[in-house]
Structures are given as structure tokens and as C-alpha cells.
Amino acid sequence: MTMKEGFYWGGATAANQFEGGWNQGGKGPSTSDMMTGGTHTIPRRITPVLEEGTYYPSHEAVDFYGHYKEDIAMMAEMGFKMFRMSINWSRIYPSGYDLEPNEEGLQFYDNVFAELKKYNIEPLVTISHYETPFGLTQKYNGWASREVIDCYIRYCTTLFNRYKDQVKYWLTFNEINCLTMPMGAYMAAGILFEGKETLVDGVDDPQTRFQALHHQFVASAKAVKLGHEINPDFQIGCMVAFMTTYPNTCNPDDMLLAQKKDQISNMICGDVQVRGAYPGFAKRFFAEEGIQIEMQPGDEQTLREGCVDFYSFSYYMSLVESADESLERAEGNLLGGIKNPYLEASDWGWQIDPKGLRYTLNHLYDRYQIPLMVVENGLGAVDVVEEDGSIQDDYRIDYLKGHIEQMKEAVADGVDLIAYTMWGCIDLVSASTGEMKKRYGFIHVNKDNDGNGDLSRTPKKSFHWYKKVIESNGEEL
């Protein structure tokens, strides 16, 4: 069984983890540029003033800025039909609130899109992917302030007009539902609470976070409407970090807890962006948590008029929820949950669940009935370079193969799936830890956790495997 004709196979990256060139070509600092390196056990710190002698992984990342021609040629060699990338907002508007864009930054993406076009690779562009200009944090505390909506729409207007003939597919915000969790405040919205020092130190204010999420919903809806006015052929989607949640037992308390987790973590964002309104359960949740969303007149109409054309999401693992608090938690699962005895885990403790992807695709398609894209899915692992220079990453092939098999099952179930862009197609900096050691790519980049290495690119075994997958449209796994 193959995917349907015209299916978009490809890979995904984010500028803050991939691009580098953080202060070149007129670019201003983004929120990620102010984050130090970390590890699996030491959290990344947020430094409002850069410290001399401290390592900031996003400053160079893996330097797509200097290697974009080589990198895109390697994607083309694999046969990519689509490349999901993000535009660095502060490369276009260095402080975020500037009134005029930075021409040199715009020219860089002109060059990238021209290179992709040369190889018939369709760009899928994330407008905001954990790259809020740090100037907006300093001036407005990021998305906590409604003023940032106007800054974002100015940025979108520039992108849509400049690239209206080069880009068809857009995503308004990466993993917008990250704002339903404490770590999303700084990472996804540039909000810096007083006393906040690391991504995971527990300094938080849910009222501010959910208000910021509302501002992003309004901004997204306005962007969708604007994009369709500038080019009616644009396809503009949402992007959710999907948290597939199973109940631990058939105890109704477990069932209800898993359902609530799905509603709050996933469905609030999907419902607002696809259906154009907050769902009923959101109102109860806000009331119970003491959260009051401040709406301006016209916001509800804006949300109704700015529904997305397709739904995209990341999928790495599934979670298990239990009302019994004495059970063992799954330590590696980024988002909590308890250990699932039926699943294996990655080196980072993330539980591997290909069938959960089929379940998720069906769950989403039943609810929304619009085209779906899997725009992040992959395995972070420690890769060993053999003496002959090869990298035998069979574990990555096994992981991806299992997930692609289940996507094919979902398509057979009737799901309208149009794209698969595997995460971190070229090794890049880990968002949560800032490490290089946790590698995802088909292509190895010679760089270590401390920033040492010549950045040379080498295909891994999975590179040649994925090339065959694409050639056969998913038949040959």
C-alpha cells in the first residue's frame, strides 16, 4: 500500500535550532538566543543579558544560514517533496516592533525559496516557531500584551506579500498548545515572569499564559484572513503538539481524566483554530482554574472568520493518565503521565508508540474533517560514528518505519493525510535541552554539546532508507 498521489514526503526544522547566524545580516536577538545550553538533567537558563563565556546553542546552531545550498541539495538527493522550515521573526523585524522590515533578512529567505524551487521542493513555512523577538519580551513581556498582535500581523503582511509566489503552505504558530503548559510561557510566547531563571523552574501564572494564548488565537485568525486576501491559493494551517492520552484502566475516573487531558491539552486549540470558537469545556476549565480571558469586542467574530485550511501536528509519544497518584510516573515523557508497560522507551525515556499515531489521526479526522499533516515525528538518539565514518542508525529506521506503517493504516481508515515531514531531518539543537547529542537527523552534523566541530554534513544509513521510502511513495519500508 502506498500513499495517495502527490503526497508530500519531507523533513522539518526550526530556525532557532537550525539556522544560526544569530547576529548576521541585521538580525536581532530572539528569545531562544538568550537561552544557554543544558542537558538531560541540567535545565537551560534564560539570561536577559548575554553572559560572556557562556554557550548559547542557537547562536550558531548548525549554521543553515551558511550551508543552506548544501543542505537543500542533500534534501533533494533524498527526494524531498516538502521542507518544513520557519522564518526567524527577528531576522525580518529585528526588535519585533520595528515599523520597517530588514531587507537583508528578506533576501536570505528569497535565496532559500529559490534554492527549494530549483529542486521542486515545496516549502511549508512556520511563521512563529519559538522565535519571538527578544525586543518584544523587553517592551511588552511578549504575548502577554495585546499590542504584539499588531506586530505579528505587520510581520505576516510583509511575508505574505514578499513570498506570495514562492510559498503556498503556511503555519501560523508552532505547537500553539504549548501555552497550556508552564514551559510554554517563555518558549512559545516570550513571556518572562519575574524570578524565572530556567524553562522548567515552576515560576508561572496560568492567567497570563492563557491570555497570551488568546492573543495568539486572534493573531492566527487575522493572519488566515489576511493571507487569503493577499493570495486566495494560500493554504494556512494550525500546528499542535499532540498529546495522545490513554486512560490507565477502565475505571471511569481514569477515563474522564484522560478525556479532560485531551480536551485541555489538544482540543481547545484545535477547536478555536478549526471551528472558530472556544468549546464549552474550555469555559468550565477557565472557571475552575480562576482564569478570566479578556476578550475585546470583535474577537469572537475574528476567530469565526479566521479558521484554518488544514490541521498539522507533532507526534512523538503517547501518555497514560491515572486518577491513582501512587503510580510510577514515566520520567522521560516531556509531558508527564505514568509508565505504559506495553511500550518501549527511547534513550531519553520517551515512550515509543506508532499505533498511537494511527489512533490520533483517526481521532483528529473524525473531529475536524479537514486535511491533516504530520509535521514532526522522529527519534532523538545518541548516534555513533563508526571508524569508517558511517552511522548505522537502524533504531531510527525502525522508529520511523513503525510510524509510517501506521500512517498508511490511518489512510486506509479514510483519513485525509497529505504530508509527513520528519522532525530534524538534519541534526539540530534540541529545543528542550539545547544539546546536540540528542540527534534526530538523516544527516549527521559534526558538532558536539559544547559547540565544537567543523559542521560537516554526512548522510546516515537512514538517509538512504528514506530515499527509497519516498521513491516508492511509502511502499518500500
- Counting Cβ atoms within 10 Å, is residue 412 exposed (0-12), middle (13-18) or buried (19+)? exposed
Catalytic positions, written as ranges: 175, 376
Closest among 361, 379, 357, 359 to 369, alpha carbons compared: 361
The answer for residues whose C-beta is within 8 angstroms of residue 458's C-beta and 6 or more apart is: 385, 389, 391, 443, 444, 446
3-state secondary structure the chain: CCCCCCCEEEEECCHHHHCCCCCCCCCCCEHHHHECCCCCCCCCEECCCCCCCCCCHHHCCCCHHHHHHHHHHHHHHHCCCEEEEECCHHHHCCCCCCCCCCHHHHHHHHHHHHHHHHCCCEEEEEEECCCCEHHHHHHHCHHHCCHHHHHHHHHHHHHHHHCCCCCCEEEEECCHHHHHCCCHHHHHHCCCCCCCCECCCCCCCHHHHHHHHHHHHHHHHHHHHHHHHHCCCCEEEEEEECCEEEECCCCHHHHHHHHHHHHHHHHHHHHHHHHCCCCHHHHHHHHHHCCCCCCCCCHHHHHHHCCCCEEEEECCCEEEECCCCCCCECCCCCCCCECCCCCEECCCCCEECHHHHHHHHHHHHHHHCCCEEEEECCCCECCCCCCCCCCCCHHHHHHHHHHHHHHHHHHHCCCCEEEEEEECCECCCCCCCCCCCCECCCEEECCCCCCCCCCCEEECHHHHHHHHHHHCCCCCC
